[in-house]
């Protein structure tokens, strides 16, 4: 099984990982470590995949799974097995596993430098433009300058073509995210009404605007690496990776 461990200076009490698509039991379009129950895969295969990942990572409890709707809501994660509707989850409790699922959207993991708080954020373009990052950061007791953020695998700019609605949605965030020029620099115009969006740079603007300056990761493209990552835009029917963070 192949997983990604964030390369960031998080305290030893913070544990984090991102799954890849390698090393599971799912077949066909979901090959092989699909962790989502809602994408048409066999539920028993998904359950076994979670067992494999849980054993590898030594998860302390059942992860908080979310019904993600590309919104901006944040919930406090729990270990009760209930799937909650939100696009980010937060915890300041030991052994509570914050989790988000992605297959092109950007997973963002956040922790306090002191190790007492963590969050996982699902940052698709709608949630990112709508303020899910700021909402997640608002849950922390630590000041933003005492937080670390790590950007996981997501679709890269050359493969993420968007329309004018997406472009205008992000421009509406100025001046809160900086100058119009800073936001505009995250888009490469390809046709009259089409752009290629840099979701990593947009996330960095959102994090910086909320006061986080210690930002790590970014740049691993889900679309360009079919052997390692699921990509909804590339494949349509596909699985999901999980990004997880907890306090040990």
Residue 242's pLDDT is 98
Give the Cα separation of 90 and 244 in Å (integer): 11
- Select from 222, 221, 187 the least CA-distant residue to 202: 187
DSSP string, 24-40: ----GGGTTT---SSSS
Tens digits of residue pLDDT in 11-23:
999 999 999 999 9
pTM of the model: 0.98
DSSP class of residue 158 equals G
**Whether pLDDT at 47 is above 90:** yes
**Whether pLDDT at 108 is above 90:** yes
Residue 175's pLDDT is 84
Tens digits of residue pLDDT in 216-244:
999 999 999 999 999 999 999 999 999 99
Across the chain, the runs of DSSP E, i.e. the strands, are 3-4, 14-19, 66-67, 74-76, 84-85, 88-91, 98-102, 106-112, 118-123, 147-151, 161-163, 187-191, 194-197, 214-217, 241-247
Tens digits of residue pLDDT in 155-214:
999 999 999 999 999 999 988 898 899 999 999 999 889 999 999 999 999 999 999 999
Average pLDDT, the chain: 97
Q: Give domain limits for the chain.
A: 3-154+211-247
Tens digits of residue pLDDT in 131-151:
999 999 999 999 999 999 999
> Which tokens in the block code for residue 228?
């390692």
Reported as half-sphere exposure (CB side, CA atoms, 13 A), residue 149 has a value of: 28
Residue 162's pLDDT is 98
> Which tokens in the block code for residue 182?
């800073």
Residue 178's pLDDT is 86
DSSP class of residue 116 equals S
Residue 192's pLDDT is 86
Question: 3-154+211-247: which CATH architecture?
Answer: 4-Layer Sandwich (3.60)
**Do β-strands 66-67 and 84-85 pair in parallel, antiparallel, or remain unpaired?**
parallel
Residue 1's pLDDT is 87
Tens digits of residue pLDDT in 65-98:
999 999 999 999 999 999 999 999 999 999 999 9
């Amino acid at each position: 099984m192949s997983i990604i461990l964030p390369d960031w200076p998080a305290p030893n009490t913070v544990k984090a990982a991102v799954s890849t698509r390698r090393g599971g039991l799912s077949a066909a379009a979901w090959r092989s470590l699909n962790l989502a129950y809602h994408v048409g895969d066999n539920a028993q295969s998904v359950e076994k995949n979670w067992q494999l990942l849980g054993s590898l990572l030594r998860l302390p409890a059942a992860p908080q799974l979310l019904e993600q709707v590309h919104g901006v809501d944040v919930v406090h994660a729990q270990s009760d097995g209930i799937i909650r509707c939100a696009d980010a989850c937060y915890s300041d409790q030991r052994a509570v596993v914050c989790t988000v699922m992605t297959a092109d959207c950007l997973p963002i993991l956040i922790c306090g430098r002191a190790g007492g708080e963590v969050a996982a954020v699902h940052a698709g373009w709608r949630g990112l433009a709508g303020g899910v990052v700021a909402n997640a950061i608002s849950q922390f007791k630590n000041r933003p300058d005492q937080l670390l953020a790590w950007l996981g695998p997501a679709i890269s700019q050359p493969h993420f073509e968007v329309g004018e609605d997406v472009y205008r949605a992000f421009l509406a965030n100025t001046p809160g995210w900086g100058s119009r020029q800073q936001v505009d620099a995250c888009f490469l115009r390809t046709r009259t009404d089409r752009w290629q969006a840099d979701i990593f740079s947009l996330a960095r603007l959102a994090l910086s605007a909320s006061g986080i300056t210690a930002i790590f990761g970014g740049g691993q493209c889900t679309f360009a690496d079919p052997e390692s990552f699921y990509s909804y835009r590339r494949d349509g029917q596909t699985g999901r990776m999980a990004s997880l963070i907890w306090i040990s």
